[in-house]
Each structure stands twice: as structure tokens, then as C-alpha cells.
Amino acid sequence: MAEQQTAARGPATDDAYRIMGVERILTPSLALYPESLDANVETTLRLLGGDANRWRPHVKTAKLAFTMQRLVRHGIRQFKCATTLELMTACEAGAEDVLLAYPVRGAGAQRVRELAQRFRATHVSVLVDHPEQVGAWSGGTVGVFIDINSGMNRTGIEQDRKNDIIRVARAIENAGLIFRGLHYYDGHLGRLALAEREVEAHRGYDRLMAIVAAMEQSGISVPEVVTSGTPALPCALSFPGFAGPSFVHRVSPGTVVYADCQTLAELPSEYGYRPAVLVVSSVVSRPMAGRITCDAGSKAASADVGVPTCAVLGRPDLQPLTPSEEHLPIEVPPGSPVPALGDVLYLVPMHVCTTVNNFDHAVIVAGGRIVGVERVTARGRESPLLEENIMPGARLDR
């Protein structure tokens, strides 16, 4: 519950999020606050010493071309993504360098090659963790990173298998491909308190540096090392080995752009991050004493990280309960004011990445006013048929 209350208070005043003319908005809706977004981007750049080249944000959070273009205007040119739709959106938004940080094969690999050909001004790269995956990229312009298993155990080569890592790097070189570097994501450390998280992260970074040293001793240059999503950002900032290394080191936090409940709980409050995306919801029922229900169920505020799915801005006393698809029951403690039917609640998502993915559009709010509506450009995925992606609107013979 401490996480919920931290996010509900927020470093910005609650009134800054109130929307004039909110009655015009169909709820539940996604509201994006570019002033807070810009502040979060500037905070991240400040933490990185003003060097935009050190940040490779994961755009699974950003999702909107509107946001990616804003990042580019802040001088950020390199990104990370997980789907071909995110890859295409980042390229269209002006990215100069995009890493598809997800193992793709078959039709997925073919689509990446097509996008790399289409956006020749963008350096497109992919991940591999086995020599068998290298062949999918032969003869093309796609660069290759080797994925290192940080202990999350979902993809990557385990850190103690240095010879296997070198073998994959040799396979990349022998295939005539560009070896771009190492990718290391340690998001699982977010469950630890910051002091313990730093110890564990630095232990992993020491092993990562040993991999780099072994590769260099074998005559393999490592151009770039990508580490550290949002939870491990403070750990990367404090790791001595990332100060002036032989390679370009980049961190890859994405949720800091919008700053959800988890972000505010995991990162030091003095950083100054604040929510930049809220779910605007309405109270639709008061089914029993001490209970209200709003219209932001799991199809609005995502439930993928558990309950609570969100916090109510300005009302840390209200406790969101287990949602169903369209309903979010909220407990009202004894003695607390009970919201009336039709009242608007502003919800800070617990996990903003998957929450943004629930919406087709975002209402843009600046200075408390609605200034536009933007499409959530990279929501979902492309058509599953390659022919229809190559020729928009095309249909196969039936």
C-alpha cells in the first residue's frame, strides 16, 4: 500500500492534473500530460549528466509517435523496442538507431529485414543468444547484439558461459554481420529494496565487465553495452565500471517517461519523477456501504502486475480492489468522504506500459486544458500476414 500512496500523492500537486471540460471525455480514457512528460525526460537526462547518448529508452512504454517524436526533440536518437510495430513507429518518429530487444524468427525476422530496408537512415539491430539464430540475418543490413542472461532467466546466455558468448560473436562476424555489442536487462531486481538491489546489480555488472574483458582478449571489440531498465537505473549510475569504459554504455529505462506507481516506488523520491499518464474514470456505482465502483477495470488499468492496479490521485485513503474487465471496485474506509455517482477519479497506473496498450487514443492535456487527441500508434501488433504489412489495405485472393 505504500507504493499506492506514494504514487497517489505524487511530486506534483493534484490540481495540476485536473482537466477543465472533463465532462467532454468518454471514460475510461487515457490522459497524457506533455509538461510532466518533458519534466521526466529532463530529469533522466540530468541524471545522465546531460548526455542524451547514454539513454536508449524502451518504447514499449511510450507507444505513441507523439511521445517518441518528443524524445527525439530532446536529443534522444537511439531506442529499444519489443515489436515490429514499435520498431516501425520509432523509425517513422525519427529514431537513428533502434534495437529490437526481443528474439524474433521466421516471418518476424523477415519483417524486421523489410523495415531495415525501408528505413535505411535508421540503424536497426536485433538480439541473438545462440549461433543458430545468426543465419536469419545473413546478407542484410541488420546489426546484432548478443543477449546476456542477467539472472532473469527468460532469454540470453548465462554470464558464466563466456566461451559460448565468444562463439556467438564469432558466428556473427563470420556471417559478415555487424556485431553491435551486449544487451543485459536486469528488471527482476526491482523487487529488492534499493540498497540490496544495488549490491546485486553491481555483482552482475562486475560479471558483465569480465565478459567484455574476455571478448577483448579474444580480439573481439565490444562497441556498446546496454543495461538497466527503470528499477536498475540508480545502480547503473553508481557503478564505477560504467564511468569511462572502453565501450559506449547506455541505460534503457522506459517507464520513467510516464512514471507509474512502480516507478515512483522503486526510484529515489529526490529524482523528482511525476506521473505523466493517468486513466480518467467515472464512479458508476455505490453497491454497498464502504464501496464504490468506477469504470476502469482491467481493460483500462492493466492488472498484469497484480492488485492494486492503480492509485487514486489525491485520495490515498481509497483502496482499489480486484478489478473485472470493465469494473474497478474501490474500498472507502470508514470516515472517509464517499465519491458521488458520476464523480471523476484520476488513476495513476501501477504498470503504465500495459495500461497505455489498452487504449486506442490518448487525450493530450496541457495547462489543465484538453489540447488534442493522439493515436496510441504502436498499440498491439501489425497484421499477422506479411503481404498486408508490405501493401497496406491489400487482401489475399479468397
The CATH number covering residue 221 comes to 3.20.20.10
Confidence at residue 391, expressed as pLDDT on a 0 to 100 scale? 62
Is residue 321 domain-resident? no
Asked if residue 286 is part of any domain, the answer here is no
| 225 touches 184 (CB < 8 A) | yes
**Residue-wise pLDDT tens digits, 204-231:** 999 999 999 999 999 999 999 999 999 9
Asked if residue 347 lies in contact with residue 312, where contact means CB atoms within 8 angstroms, the answer is yes
The number of folded domains in the chain is: 1
Ramachandran angles phi, psi of 217, nearest 5°: -65, -25
- pLDDT value of residue 232: 98
Rg (CA), the chain: 22
pLDDT band at 387 (very low <50, low <70, confident <90, very high): confident
Average the pLDDT over 343-369 and give the result: 98
Q: What percent of the chain is predicted at pLDDT more than 70?
A: 95
Q: Which three cell numbers stand for residue 111?
A: 519483417
pLDDT 10s digits, 302-314: 999 999 999 999 9
**139 located within any domain:** yes
Phi, psi (degrees; rounded to nearest 5) at 152: -75, -25
Integer Cα distance of 291 and 327 in angstroms: 12
In a domain, 299, yes or no: no
Strands 179-184 and 143-149 come out as parallel
State how far the Cα of 258 lies from the Cα of 114, in Å rounded to an integer. Answer: 31
Return d(Cα 263, Cα 237) in angstroms, integer: 16
- Angle, CA 54 vertex, CA 53 and CA 55 arms, to 5°: 95
Domain extent at residue 143: 35-258
Query: Cis link prior to 287 (omega < 30° from 0)?
Result: no
6-52 per-position pLDDT tens digit: 444 444 568 899 999 999 999 999 999 999 999 999 999 999 999 99
Residue 319 lies in a domain: no
What 3-state class would DSSP assign to 63? Answer: coil
Q: Is residue 82 part of a domain?
A: yes
Tens digit of each residue's pLDDT (9 = 90 or more) over 252-304: 999 999 999 999 999 999 999 999 999 999 999 999 999 999 999 999 999 99
Degrees, nearest 5: CA angle 16-20-26: 110
Instruction: Give the global pTM.
Output: 0.94
Inter-CA distances, 195 with 155, 189, 198, 201, Å: 26, 11, 5, 10
Question: How many CA atoms lie less than 13 Å away from 109 in the CB half-sphere?
Answer: 19
Average pLDDT, the chain: 94
Give the number of other Cβ atoms within 10 Å of residue 247's Cβ.
16
**141-167: per-residue pLDDT in tens?**
999 999 999 999 999 999 999 999 999
DSSP annotation of 251: E
* E strand intervals along 20-107: 29-32, 78-81, 97-100
pLDDT tier at 3 (50, 70, 90 boundaries)? very low
pLDDT of residue 183: 98
Q: What is the pLDDT of residues 92-136, one digit of tens each?
A: 999 999 999 999 999 999 999 999 999 999 999 999 999 999 999
Check residue 393 and give its pLDDT: 58
pLDDT at 388: 79
And the C-alpha cell for 97? 538507431
Grid cell for residue 106: 521466421
Per-residue model confidence (pLDDT) at position 374: 98
Question: The dihedral of CA 349, 25, 382, 112: what is its sign?
Answer: negative
- Dihedral, 19, 22, 24, 25 alpha carbons, nearest 10: 90
DSSP 51: -
For residues 86 and 55, the answer to whether their CB atoms sit within 8 Å is: no
Omega cis (within 30) before 323: no
Give the three-state DSSP class for 393. coil
The dihedral through the CA atoms of 32, 36, 42, 47 has a sign that is: negative
Distance from first CA to last CA of the chain, Å, rounded? 55
